[in-house]
Structures are given as structure tokens and as C-alpha cells.
Amino acid sequence: MTQTLPRISAYGDHALQIQYDVDGFSTAINDAVHTLAAQLKTDENWIDIITGYDSLVATFNSTALTIDSAKRKVEDTLIRTPQSASPQTQNRLIDIPVTYGGACGPDMGNICQSSGLNEQAVIEKHAAQIYRVCMMGFLPGFAFLSEVPKALHHPRHANPRAVVPAGSIGIANWQTGIYGLDSPGGWQIIGRTDQVMFDKTRKTPSLIQAGDRIRFIPQ
């Protein structure tokens, strides 16, 4: 697969945004994002690298680099890295136990109705594949994962809930994700894990990181 090189633009005065043009979710593009992030992290001039589904933001040491020299570094890294390269990440595989349906999955019925599947079939489909942690945000510990099977695609709620419990697993359009904290949210909640996804007292507060792989284990 031939990929178009990304656009590189200033993101403030000491960061760059590297943006790939793609319609919807692309595993190949997300692989490219994480491969580039891993390459940049080997250079101490880059202070922080934040990945997204099809982009990343790289903050650099402004006493060592200018916007132009930082851009050239990214361009050189892209040239040196084959676009067909496998993603170079820590690539941990983390099992997440999940209680699906019932009080833990109040929106399971919505997914069953739109997919035409019964609850057990929805659970089997959702848990059958391994997901990439594509990015972290919009609040501490929230994991945005790769695409769910197409049968499970479902729009988010028009009116978000005031509180979604930490550990909830949801679907929003083509995405699936895990809530790190109790928070408002509009995703369709199909289950919940008792794993503590975010704890500020831990050395590494978030249980999972961008680039990890997740396997859901039905309980």
C-alpha cells in the first residue's frame, strides 16, 4: 500500500502537528503514526509525543531547534522509515476483564437492536479481536481504541449521561473505548471492567498507554 506523506505544520511556537489525510479509520495510517512516534522518541530533542488516530503532535526543545529545523528532522525521519514498516511500539498485550450487559452495560440493548444480534453474539464479536490503543484523552485514562466489527457500529447518545462510571466500555460510531474516570459521556455502554484504569498515586497513573494492545475477556 502506498501512503501519502503527512502534512507537517507548526502547532504553537515549539511543537509540530504531523497529519495524515485519510477518510475514516485506517490501520495502516495508525501504524505509520505509532512508528513515527517511536522513531522521534529516540531523539532527546523531542520533549513529548502525543499520538492520535491519524496524526501526532511533537513538542521539541526550543533552545535546540527552531520550527524549520524541527520540521526537517521529521521529514528526514519519514524518509528513513519505510512506510511499510511495522509499528515500533512497546506493543504490550493487556487483558481487560469485562462484565458485559446488565447494570454494567445499560446500552447493550441498543447495540443488539441495531446489529440484529443477540447479547451473546454482540459480546463474542466485541471480544473476538485485539484492539490497538490508538490514543489517550479526552480525560485522564480514557483509551480510544481501534475499530469495532462493522456490525457493532452505533452512534453515540444524542444527550450524554451526566455520569458514566470509571471502567465502562463503550461504542461510539465505529470506535470502542474505556472510561478512565467517572465522567459525563455519550458513548453506548456495553460493559465495565473492575480494573483501575487511572490512579494518580501510581508511578504510571494510566494502566494502558497509546500503542498498547487490548484483549477484552468476558467474565
Domain residue limits, the chain? 7-80, 93-218
Superfamily for the 93-218 domain: Cyclophilin-like (2.40.100.10)
CATH architecture of the domain with range 7-80: 2-Layer Sandwich (3.30)
| pLDDT grade for 195, boundaries at 50, 70 and 90 | very high
pLDDT in tens, 165-192: 999 999 999 999 999 999 999 999 999 9
Mean pLDDT, to the nearest integer, of 95-106? 98
Q: What is the mean pLDDT of the chain?
A: 92
Q: Find cell 490497538 and name the residue.
A: 132
Q: What own/partner pairs with CB < 8 Å and gap ≥ 24 does 62-66 have?
A: 62/13, 62/14
pLDDT in tens, 199-211: 999 999 999 998 8
On the question of pLDDT at 16 being above 70, the answer is yes
Q: How does strand 188-192 pair with strand 93-100?
A: antiparallel
DSSP state of 103: G
Q: Check residue 1 and give its pLDDT.
A: 43
Q: Do domains 7-80 and 93-218 have the same CATH topology?
A: no
| pLDDT grade for 137, boundaries at 50, 70 and 90 | confident
